[in-house]
């Protein structure tokens, strides 16, 4: 029989990995791209992570090639590898600079594929990659996004060595079903908007006065907010406004994120720096 603890442990481990990656990108890079082991454990405990989960997440990132053992001023820690810095920088383009709404006149990128059953694993991974990039699913093997996503799609296909099974098109929508209806079928817009509404509800802007927030609280709110936010813009292709519901909250959520970063980032980094040698 599975106990509650057995169910919760993988979930906790997954959260530890995602939060730690957020910590690397939003804090560690600003503090010399190196982190002390003890300081990291203590800081992340304020985010609700326990020591074993953090150490496991660190170990897995080390095996992945993201972290390199390095001692500074007699303090054991880890530096970010070139691979980690490149991956985090690539994510910055979407996380910190969310895509502006696409122009309908720029057209669309359409991906179709026929991948044999012998490559089923890679086929499933391609579908996951396209979804994570913000592509909509028109049918089982047909995906669509604004034309500007062409390069990202080609890179995902090439990385899985599936280009010989795929076709990539760009062009204008000319005729067929009502375009807003097609978009509504291809993307789960209500679910996407619900995630933005959850973000707005959780991080509602109270516009705190400078110095009114305790440094430890500023740090915890800042990292938690970035961790919550960073998944949202990747899934959102920033469709042309004419194709979105009238009450779409993506723009409002982005504006809140940017305000909260301005309010909290400096204080959060100053608090984190006190744990560095």
Rounded distance between C-alpha atoms, residue 103 and residue 112, angstroms:
23
> Whole-angstrom Cα distance, residue 94 to residue 96?
6
The SS3 assignment for 1 reads coil
Are 186 and 138 spatial neighbours (Cβ–Cβ below 8 Å)? yes
> In this predicted model, what pLDDT tens digit does every residue of 32-74 receive, in sequence order?
999 999 999 999 998 889 899 999 999 999 999 999 999 999 9
- State pLDDT tens for residues 158-207: 999 999 999 999 999 988 878 999 999 999 999 999 999 999 999 987 55
| This prediction's pTM | 0.83
Beta strand 108-113 with 136-139 is unpaired
DSSP string, 247-275: T--HHHHHHHHHHHHHHHHHHHHHHHHTT
Residue 146: both structure tokens together: 């604004």
Contact of 72 with 277, CB cutoff 8 Å: yes
Q: How does the average pLDDT of the chain come out, rounded? A: 89
- The alpha-carbon radius of gyration of the chain (Å, integer) is 21
Question: DSSP secondary structure string, 168-222?
Answer: EEEE---SSS-HHHHHHHHS-HHHHHHHHHHHHHHT----PPTT-S-HHHHHHHH
Give the Cα separation of 53 and 47 in Å (integer): 12
Helix axes 4-26, 82-95, angle to 10 degrees: 90
| Domains of the chain by start residue, with CATH | 4-91 (1.10.10.10), 108-171 (3.30.70), 188-273 (no CATH)
């Amino acid at each position: 029989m599975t106990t509650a603890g057995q169910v919760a442990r993988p979930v906790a481990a997954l959260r530890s990995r995602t939060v730690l990656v957020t910590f690397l990108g939003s804090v560690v890079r600003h503090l010399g791209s190196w982190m002390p082991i003890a300081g990291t454990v203590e800081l992340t405990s304020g985010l609700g992570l326990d020591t074993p989960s953090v150490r496991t997440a660190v170990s897995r990132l080390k095996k992945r090639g993201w972290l390199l053992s390095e001692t500074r001023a007699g303090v054991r820690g880890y530096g970010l590898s070139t691979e980690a810095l490149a991956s985090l920088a690539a994510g910055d383009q979407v996380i910190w600079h969310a895509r502006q709404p696409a122009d309908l006149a720029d057209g669309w990128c359409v991906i179709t594929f026929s991948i044999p059953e012998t490559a089923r694993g890679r086929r499933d991974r391609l579908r996951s990659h396209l979804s994570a990039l913000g592509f909509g699913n028109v049918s089982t093997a047909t995906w669509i996004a604004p034309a500007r996503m062409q390069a990202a799609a080609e890179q995902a296909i090439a990385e899985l060595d599936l280009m010989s099974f795929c076709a990539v098109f760009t062009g204008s929508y000319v005729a067929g079903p009502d375009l807003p209806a097609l978009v509504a079928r291809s993307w789960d817009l209500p679910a996407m908007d619900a995630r933005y509404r959850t973000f707005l509800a959780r991080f509602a802007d109270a516009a705190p006065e400078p110095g009114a927030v305790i440094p430890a609280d500023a740090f915890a709110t800042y990292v938690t907010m970035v961790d919550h936010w960073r998944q949202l813009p990747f899934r959102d292709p920033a469709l042309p406004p004419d194709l979105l519901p009238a009450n779409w909250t993506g723009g409002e959520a982005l504006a809140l994120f940017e305000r909260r970063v301005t309010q909290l980032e400096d204080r959060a980094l100053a608090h984190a720096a006190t744990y560095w040698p």
